[in-house]
Structure 1
Amino acid sequence: MSKTTGGAADDLDSSAELAAELLRRRDEDQHVRGLLPDTGPWPSDVLERMRRIDADNTAFLKRVIAAHGWPGLSLVGRHAANAAWLIAQHSDADPEFQRHARDLIAEAVAKGEAPRRHLAYITDRCLVHEGQPQLYGTQYFDNGDGAGVRPRPIADLDRLDQRRAEAGLSPYAEHDARMRKRP
């Protein structure tokens, strides 16, 4: 297999090649999501393409982790480490892997290898998938009723901004305004 179509992560000869592949996969992830319309139903062909990309990226990130551990800042640099986190965020079809990635990101944060905000976002993502209230208010949804996006349930609202600050996130009111402003 070629390095860009799902070959083993340990086939990549250098950290630079690994970083480049993570960035390529991030770009593909974001491109397909950019094809989704702002209103109306999402086209089934685009959703299927997104599912295939997410599944391939999840499998790739699993191989990266098996070969190198979490691809943190010192291994792949800031942009590619962000790409690895984004791939883990979009690994919704594999919640067990997503929880594993969350745990690895927690370890990376403790070592200075990942920003705290990555842990906040993936923690919320995992909690939402488990049917639990999120801690940081990062996860939103739009059920198509015309009311626009709104946050998934959030635990302990009185301490929300404190948790967000500790995670390096902006105050919730600012984040909420940005999220609701999106088309």
Structure 2
Amino acid sequence: MLPGLAAALARELVRRVDDDQRATEEVHRSPTPAARRCLATCRESNAEALRAIVRRHAWPTAALVGAPASTAALMILLHAPDLAFQVACRDLIAQAVADGRCPAPHHAYIADHCAVELGQPQFYGTRIDPLTCCPYPVRRPEGLDERRRDVGLAPLDEQLRTLRLSG
């Protein structure tokens, strides 16, 4: 890919995540139907843009667009209202991680997200139920912290402590 095109994709991804964050903050400040519609529209537009990028260039890996933009793409994907698209990208991200083109935590987050959305236990414990502040069910919990360490995530207790302090 041409360097200018990669830089343009990177700017677009980061801008779209910034738009999502602003719309999310507005919903938190003023949870009106209009604010919720604005957030939903933003997320659908972001997902459509990411679909187009993936169709043309495959998953926007850190090797392709840089780490911040690749993380932005993951955030867009996690907020996308299309589970089939998320599952398809999960597999692209898994391959990119295996090839060293994407950080391992990216796969952990999307794999757990898809598992929870599909009603299956998650593998890395990254998804936390906002009502209980506990992780959604985890497959083989006895090896959870080892799996998390293998992909560069902190132990679950640390993640939960951080969430409680920020909440």
Letter of the structure 1 residue corresponding to residue 84 of structure 2: E
Q: Taking every aligned residue pair, what percent have the same amino acid on both sides?
A: 37
Q: Does 1:174 align with 2:162?
A: no
Q: 1:90 aligns with which of 75, 79, 92?
A: 79
| 37 and 177 in structure 1: CA distance in 2 versus 1, 3 angstrom threshold | same
Aligned to 2:138: 154
Equivalenced residues, count: 164
Q: Which amino acid aligns with 1:89?
A: L
Task: Quote the Cα distance in structure 2 between the aligned partners of 1:47 and 1:101.
Answer: 26
Give 1:131's aligned residue: 119
Equivalent AA in structure 2 for residue 21 of structure 1: E
Gap change, CA 1:132 and 1:181, over 3 Å in 2: same
Uncovered stretches (5+) of structure 1, i.e. residues with no partner = 1-12
List, as ranges, runs of 4+ consecutive aligned residues in structure 1 with deviation greater than 4 Å: none
Name the residue aligned to 1:26.
17
- Residues 38-117 of structure 1 mapped to structure 2, 5 A cutoff: 42-91=31-80, 93-117=81-105
Root-mean-square deviation (CA, aligned residues, Å) is: 1.7
CA distance in 1, matches of 2:149, 2:27: 32
SS in structure 1 of the partner of residue 28 of structure 2: coil
Residues 140 and 43 from structure 1, CA distance in 2 versus in 1: closer, same or farther, beyond 3 angstroms?
farther
Query: What are the superposed Cα offsets for residues 138-164 of structure 1, whole Å, 9 maximum, x if unpaired?
Result: 112323xxxx63321222211110110
Which residue identity does 2:14 align to in structure 1? Answer: L
Secondary structure of 2:66's counterpart equals helix
Closer/same/farther in 2, CA of residues 124 and 19 from structure 1, 3 Å limit: same
Structure 1 contact 150–180 (Cα < 8 Å) conserved: no
Alpha-carbon separation, structure 1, partners of 2:74 and 2:143: 25
Residue segments in structure 2 that go unaligned for 5+ positions in a row: none
> Which structure has greater helix proportion?
2
Q: Which letter does structure 2 place at the counterpart of 1:105?
A: I
The answer to which of 74-83 and 97-106 deviates more is: 74-83
